[in-house]
Amino acid sequence: MKLYIILIISGLIVGFINTLAGGATIISISVFNWLGLPLTIANGTNRVAIIMQTLSSNAVFFKNKVIPYKNIWRQALAIVIGSLIGAVFAVNVKEDFFRYALMVVIVIMIVSMFINPKSWTVGKENNANFKRNEWLTIIVFFIIGLYGGFIHVGVGYYILFAGIYLMGYDVIKASAFKNFLVFFYVSISFIIFIINGLVNWEYGLVHGIGNIIGAQIAARISLTKSINFVKWLIVAIMILIFIDLTGIISLKQLVLGSLGNV
């Protein structure tokens, strides 16, 4: 029972953060590893919860007609192809590279939000002067897919960034777009992990229950609160994740320490 409580509570935290912004997958992988799963299996098991989380949040976004289905299928195909390659081949890149790259993206997003706040709240897709570079978005989403298929941690920020600045969406539509793409590519690349026996279904499904609850709360907040509230909530999450990446605090240790007392 204690094991299930730990998996559900940690899943709720991860589902909430990932639905609005991203970066919480490291908590899932750490919890699985802490509970005895090798990192390769923890990485595969994490995909079960991600699928459950994004399926749940997408149901809310779909019901409220927020997901921008129009003209996104080339980008969706690009991220799927990239994720399949990333899932098959373990790229020999140091973890520090990913951490620093994620920190740079978060800083750029926060700075750009202060410089041009309207890009977050209004969006550019309906602006007559905005013209989406189709080939650039396809290349960018393919690269995001490579990374997402390989490790997934923090992929939400890259999609959120591309959704706002390359696709022209406001922050709520970009968040819905992010959740749709993550569900789309993770569901397909997950097959690679199943074939290789890298999934603990019990841990993944129980953790996924918490993810669903967290995703539902986050999705409903994004739709019922003002767009400015959602924007600042995402900024707060990004700052928290950035501080964690610098090593000043450790969200992983805070969560694991709290769960260890359950």
CA separation for the pair 226, 190 (Å, rounded): 35
CA separation for the pair 95, 245 (Å, rounded): 11
Residues 86, 175, 14, CA angle at the centre, nearest 5°? 70
For the chain, domain boundaries: 2-260
**What pLDDT digit, counting tens, does each position of 209-243 carry?**
999 999 999 999 888 887 778 778 888 888 888 88
Residue 262 makes CB contacts below 8 A (sequence gap 6+) with: 2, 5, 6, 9
Which of the residue ranges 71-75, 198-202, 231-235 would you say has the lowest mean pLDDT? 231-235
Read off the pTM: 0.80
* pLDDT the model gives residue 28: 87
CA-closest candidate to residue 58, choices 192, 150, 185: 185
pLDDT confidence band for 259 (50 / 70 / 90): low
